[in-house]
Chain A
């Protein structure tokens, strides 16, 4: 990824007037930036969608598509709406300048543009962009891409909405004795590899990991973004998780380390999904009986000695596409009534 530092940024100048384009380009190049130009708004948008720019210098009065229309288009474009825009124009009337700012322009410079002022405004805009880019990277690191996208698109509000989704819980069996038998450094390394594999299986099937606690995790399929066939996606993710753990075990065996086993529980239905916590610190999660049920079913994998257990609603979502075995109604821990549970058939467990 290209760094946008204060100097040496890549800028796009849009102006229908050749003298203005030449002059602005000259000013910007003297300040160490690389500059591309466009003659009207439509051409500028095409360039912005084709290649990355750090900042846009935009004229307003232009044929084809004027600066106001460009600002409107940028505002509605998820990829481009954070691009800083400095309007350079000799517009008449304060209301026009106000309109630019309201449409999202970062700044307004009256033409002819004073080079010193231009340098200061560009420096400030690029610095703000750098901070925003940094925040985006952080957001991606600490939230699933779908959650980051949802946050960027809809903003952050505590509270949830009802969704149809599947919840998956998994943990490593016998993790505590395993952790006690090795150094903490080895345990961290094990967990990092384990989580990398699990994340890959889950996100590969459209799910997001919403919680990680010790050796356990919770994943959601169907929220915040809808996933078609979320029940089957969750089951397929679980199967891939088991496969990846098997591969991981081959490596561990070769290194003389004990193998690990995981248990996975899945339940599907209506739940409330959203941001829970405080306005300062919150997490995207799901809440409801279904979530509780998925957790209980996962705990039951130890009793049933099966790797993947699912509830009846998930069972109904996969049809005959994934073989399962009915285990009948079992009394799950913490439940007063028996619950029907199905084991997803895995070759070696058959």
Chain B
């Protein structure tokens, strides 16, 4: 079974408790911050900065769960816990993460305007 890019129940609850206008602002912030985090992950991996890598993956995981982006969160969590083990943290994994993020960005853009 494939998981939805965005878990609607989580997103709707966020919208309900925080307010639609605020969630629009929050999504916009995420759409600015997340690409930076993806870049940071590539840079930290190349520079072998394990702390930075773990922290950034952690941050992305945390934001993913806020919006209900469960598959993206799961990928970020794997990276957070990888300890930069080349088998678990590599360019292919980061490419998969970026691809999933693109789906999330599209879905969130659509949802915030809904």
Contacts and interface: CB of A to CB of B under 8 A. Distances in A.
Interface of A: 16-20, 22-23, 26-27, 30, 61-63, 90, 92, 111-112, 115
Contact of A17 (B54, B62, B77): B62
| Range for the number of chain B residues in contact with chain A | 20 to 34
A111 B81 contact: no
B66 A16 contact: no
Nearest to B59: A17
B55 A19 contact: no
Nearest to A110: B65
Nearest to B25: A22
B61 A90 contact: yes
Given A90-B58, A112-B14, 14 more contacts: A19-B29, A19-B63, A19-B66, A20-B63, A22-B25, A22-B26, A22-B29, A23-B18, A61-B58, A63-B55, A90-B61, A90-B62, A92-B80, A112-B65
Contacts of B17: 27, 115
Given A22-B26, A61-B58, A17 B63 contact: yes
B82 to A, nearest CB: 12
B33 interface: yes
Interface string B29-73: 110010000000000000000001011001101110110000000
A107 B77 CA distance: 24
Contacts of A23: 18, 26, 66
A107 to B, nearest CB: 18
Interface of B: 14, 17-19, 22, 25-26, 29-30, 33, 52, 54-55, 58-59, 61-63, 65-66, 77, 80-81
A59 to B, nearest CB: 9
A61 B55 contact: yes
Contacts of B66: 19-20, 23, 111-112
A112 B62 contact: yes
A112 B19 CA distance: 16
Contacts of B22: 26
A111 B18 contact: no
B62 A111 contact: yes
B33 A17 contact: yes
Contacts of A115: 17
**Of listed A17, A18, A27, A92, residue having the most chain B CB within 10 A:** A17
A19 B18 contact: no
A18 B55 CA distance: 14
Contacts of A27: 17-18
6 contacts: A17-B33, A19-B29, A19-B66, A20-B59, A90-B61, A111-B65
A112 B11 CA distance: 12
Contacts of A92: 77, 80-81
B18 A18 contact: no
Contacts of B80: 92
B29 A18 contact: yes
Contacts of A17: 33, 59, 62-63
A16 B18 contact: no
Given A19-B33, A115-B17, A61 B26 contact: no
Contact of A19 (B30, B54, B58): B30
B53 to A, nearest CB: 12
Contacts of A30: 18
Contacts of B30: 19
